Structure 1
Amino acid sequence: MTETLFALDAAHERIREAARTLAAEVAPFAAEADDATEVHVPTAEALRRSGLAAYVVPREFGGHDDTLDPLALAIIREQLMAVSAHLDSLFGMQGVGSYALSVGGSDELRREWLPKVARAEAIPSIALTEPEVGSDLRGITTTIAQDGDVLRISGRKAFITNAGAADFACVLGKEGDGYSMALVPTDSPGLRVTSGPELIAPHIIGELHFDDVVVPAVNRLGEPGKAFALMLQTLAVFRVSVAGSAVGLAQAALDEAVRHATSREQFGKPLMALGSVSQNLALSWAEIEAARALTYRAAALAASDPLAHIAETSMAKVIATETSARVVDRAVQAMGRFGLIRGSVIERLYRNARPVRIYEGSTEVLLDSLARQLAKRTTS
C-alpha cells in the first residue's frame, strides 16, 4: 500500500494495524466473500475473532470506548474495504444497525443485545427505506402504534442491508404526527423476510414485511414521535465511516494500477514513464490524500457532537466517494485491457465504487443539504 501522508496518534495507529491484520486474514477468500449474497461464514468468523466489532458499542456493554469513536470506525473501514466489500459491510452494519439502540434503547434492551453485537454474535440491521421511499424518509408509510404495553408495527421496508441475516432490526415508522423507532427481533411473529434484487456489487439485501408485528413497549428506541433526530444522528456518525471505506477502496485501486504501470512496458518503456498515465495516477494520489485528511478531520469532529458536525461528515462522504469513483476509473484506464477482466481485483473495486455514492445519502441529496446550510451560514 502507498504510504499515507496523514499521521495518526499511537492509539489510532494500533487500531489501523488491527484492521490491517483482519483484512490480511480475509484477503485469500475476499473474492469469494464479495460474490456472496448471504453471510460468508469464514469472513464473519474472522471478524468475530478480531474483536473489532467491539468498537461499535459503548464500553459499558462490551465496547472499547466509553462512546463511539467515529475516527476509529473510519480507519477500520478504510482498511477493510481495501480488501473486501463484504467484510467492510459486515463490520459497518454492526454499528449502523445497532447505533439507535446504543443511544436510544433502555438499559434492559441494551444489556440484552449490545454485548452480542460487540462480540459479532448478533447481526443487526436498520430498516429505513421503503419500496417508494429512499432519500426522502419523511415519506415513509410504515406505522408504529402503542397499544398498552406493546408496540404494533405494520408496513414494508425495502433495500434493507442484512435483512435475511439479521437477528434484529431498528425500524423507523410513522407514529401520529412524528416518527418513532423500535427494535424488532427478526423472529417476531408477523415479520416476513423476502429477498431483494440482485445488485451490480453483490450484497446481503432484502425486504421486511411487518403484518401487525407486536413487540414490548420497552423495545421503543428514543422518545415517541421524536426518532427522526435519532436516525439523523446515526447517519451523522456512520456516514463519515462510509467516507473511510471509499478512501480505502480508492487507495486499493491506485495501488493496483501502480503495480501494473511499473511492471508493464509499452513503446519500450514502463507505463509509469508515459506522461498521461503517470500524471493521472499522481493526481489520484493527491486526491486520495485530500479525501483522507477531510475524512479524518470530519470523523474527529463528529466524536464530540455528530449532529452539530453533520455538514463536515456529509462533505467527507461526498468528496471521498466521488474521489473513489474517479480514481478507480483512472486505474482501469491505466491498466487497459487488463482492467476489464471479470473477477480481477480492479474489476471488483470498479463495481464496489458505484454503490458508495448512493447509500447513506446520495451525492446529490447531500449537496442539496449542504447548499441549504451554506445559504444559512452566508446570510446569518
Structure 2
Amino acid sequence: MSTSEPGLFELPEKYRQLQDEARELAVSIRDVAERADESSSTDPDVRDRLAASGLPALAVPARWGGRFEQVDSLAMTVVREQLAAESAHLDSMFAMQGIGSYGLAIAGSDAVRDHWLPRVASLDAIAALGLTEPHVGSDLKALTTTAEVDGNEIVLNGHKSFITNGGDADFYSVLAREDDGYSLVCVPADVAGVTTHRPHQIIAPHVLSDVVLENVRVPIDHRIGEPGKGFALVLATLATFRVSVAGASIGMAESALRLALAHATDREQFGGPLARLGSVPEHLASCWTDIEAARSLTYRAAAASARDARGNLHLSSMAKVAATETCGRVVDRCVQIMGRFGITRGTAIERLYREARPMRIYEGSTEVIFDSLAKQLIKNGL
C-alpha cells in the first residue's frame, strides 16, 4: 500500500533515514511484540533491541549524545509512527525517554544532566515523568505532592499515580507544589523513601505504577529550573512531544488497515472477495482517506513544532486530536470488516483495538485539548 512510501510526504532525507531505521527495528521485534505488548513491565528483549538501534539518542540533545542539536518533534513523530505499527510497548519505551527527560534537558543543572542524559540516550537509564495523582488528572494545579527546601536539600512528600515507566524507571521528573508555585524535581528511583506499586491494569497493558514519596531527600541542584516554574517545563514537554502521539496513532491505524485489507481480499463470501461486498469497499476507502488526512496534519504540525514547539502547540494539539480520533474510528471499522476474526482474543487486530483506545486520553484527552483550543480561538481569533 502506497501510504508507507518513505518519500510520500517529501520529508527531508534525514527523516526518511529515520523512518527506515525505525521500520527495520519494528519488524525485527515481531517475534516478541505480542508478549511485550501484554506485559506490565519492561520487556528486556525489546529494551536491548531498541538500545542497539541507537534511536533513543533522538530523545536528548547532541550535547549529551543525541543525534540532533535539539530534540526534534518531527524526528520523534516519524519514528513513533513506525514503532507503534508493530508494538505499543516498543513505542512507549522510545517515547518516554524523551518525555521523562525533556525538562531536565532544557533546564536541569549541569551536574544532573551530565549524569542522566547520556544514560537516557543509550537506554542505560529509563526516564519517567511524575505528574498525575490518585485524585488529580488533567487539573494538575490541584496536585498535593510537596517540595520543601531544607538546607541544601529538597524534601518531597506525595503520591503519584498512573506513572508510565513507574517501577522500572531509574529517575522521575516529579511535579510538586513548592511555596506558591509548582516545581519540577529530578528524583532518582533508588533514593530512600521512594516506593512503587502497581494497583492498576488498563485495557492495553502498559508499564504503569504508583510512585509514593515519603520524606524523599535530594540535593537542591536536583530541582529542574527555577523554583515555582515547573509548569512552564511541563508545557514545553507537551509542546515538543504531544504531536508524536499523533504519529503513533497513525502507525496503529495503518497497521489495522493492512490487516483488514488482507482479510477482505483473501476471504471469499457469497461467491466473491469480501473486499467487493456491500459496504466493505467504502469502509476500506474511508479508512485510507482518514489516515492520509491525519498524516498530512500530523507531519505539518510536527515540522512546525520542530521549528518552534511552544509557538505551534495549537497545531500539535489539533494533530493529536485528529490522529487519535482517526485511529479509534479506523481500528473500529477494521474490526467490523474482520467480523469474528476481529474480536478474537490474542489476535493482532484485537490487540490494536485495545491499544488504540487509550491514545485519545494520553498526553491530554480530546475534551481537555478542545477546551484549550477553543479558549485560544476565542481570545485570539483565527
- Give the TM interval when normalised to the shorter protein: over 0.9
Q: Which residue of 1 aligns with 2:189?
A: 186
Poorly superposed stretches of 4+, deviation over 6 Å: none
The structure 2 residue matched to 1:287, chosen from 290, 304, 329, is: 290
Q: Which residue of 2 aligns with 1:214?
A: 217
Contact kept? 1:55, 1:68, Cα under 8 Å: yes
Q: Which residue of 2 aligns with 1:3?
A: 3
Aligned residue identity for 2:287: S
Aligned residue identity for 1:279: E
Superposed counterparts of 1:230-309, under 5 Å:
230-309=233-312
Aligned-residue Cα RMSD (Å) equals 1.0
Contact kept? 2:29, 2:46, Cα under 8 Å: yes
> When the two structures are aligned, how many residues end up with a matched partner?
379
Aligned residue identity for 2:322: I
Aligned residue identity for 1:193: T
The structure 2 residue matched to 1:349, chosen from 347, 352, 358, is: 352
Query: Under a length normalisation based on structure 2, what TM-score does the superposition of the two structures give?
Result: 0.98
Give, in whole Å, the separation in 2 of the partners of 1:156 and 1:218.
22
SS at match of 1:225: coil
1:377 deviates by 2.0
Give, in whole Å, the separation in 2 of the partners of 1:106 and 1:228.
17
Q: Which residue of 2 aligns with 1:316?
A: 319
Q: Which residue of 1 aligns with 2:134?
A: 131
Contact kept? 1:264, 1:271, Cα under 8 Å: yes
1:29 equivalent to 2:32? Answer yes
Give, in whole Å, the separation in 2 of the partners of 1:110 and 1:337.
51
Structure 2, unmatched stretches of 5+, are none
Contact kept? 1:2, 1:255, Cα under 8 Å: no
Q: Which residue of 2 aligns with 1:195?
A: 198
1:306 deviates by 1.4
SS at match of 2:166: coil
SS at match of 1:354: helix
Query: Under a length normalisation based on structure 1, what TM-score does the superposition of the two structures give?
Result: 0.98
Q: Which residue of 2 aligns with 1:40?
A: 43
Q: Which residue of 1 aligns with 2:171?
A: 168
Identity of aligned residues (%): 53
Aligned residue identity for 1:335: M
Give, in whole Å, the separation in 2 of the partners of 1:2 and 1:94.
31
1:370 deviates by 0.6
Query: What does the per-residue CA deviation read over 1:44-89, in whole Å, with 9 as the maximum and x for residues that have no partner?
Result: 1110100000001000100001101100100000000000000001
Contact kept? 2:3, 2:292, Cα under 8 Å: no
Structure 1, unmatched stretches of 5+, are none
Give, in whole Å, the separation in 2 of the partners of 1:65 and 1:168.
23
1:2 deviates by 4.4
Aligned residue identity for 1:255: R
The structure 2 residue matched to 1:13, chosen from 13, 16, 33, is: 16
Give, in whole Å, the separation in 2 of the partners of 1:28 and 1:195.
27
Query: What does the per-residue CA deviation read over 1:16-46, in whole Å, with 9 as the maximum and x for residues that have no partner?
Result: 0000010011111110110111111111111
